[in-house]
Amino acid sequence: MPFRILIADDEPQIRHLIRKLLERHKGWDVCGEASDGLEAIEKAGALEPDLVLLDISMPNLDGLSAAPRIMEASPQTGVLVLTLHQSLDMARMAASAGAAAYVAKSVASRELVPAIEAYVAACTPPQ
């Protein structure tokens, strides 16, 4: 069964690039996309992904406010924050909102896949 990922970012080009990066990884399925926090909550509840990649700065509802609501709508879903904001304070706020990880977009091309792999490993029971 594939590991299902929802991408939530207000920039269509960013969603497209992330999708292309993740589609190269065997066993992962991008099950949907959202362009704001409210849509991310709705789609997480409907699609029940394993992980939501969530931008912080989005219209209608920011990612930090959406994260706990996503996990309420879909309790088995984890959240990984993907953002332009690179600060320790922002990383702490993301963790306080329930995010399992925090990746800066500036390093996403080399750090996003390892962060997701670490999340998958942490969620997978030993065999």
> What gap in Å lies between CA 67 and CA 80, rounded to an integer?
9
Centroid of chain to Cα 36? 12
pTM greater than 0.85? yes
Residues 51, 98: Cα–Cα separation, whole Å = 12
In angstroms, how far is CA 81 from the centroid of its own chain?
A: 5
pLDDT digits (tens, 9 = 90+) for 66-106: 999 999 999 999 999 998 877 888 889 898 999 998 998 88
CATH of domain 3-123: 3.40.50.2300
Q: Which residue has the tokens 């990066």?
A: 21
Between residues 39 and 91, which one has the greater pLDDT? Answer: 39
Token pair in block for residue 2 = 């594939």
**HSE (CB half, 13 Å, CA atoms) of 77?**
30
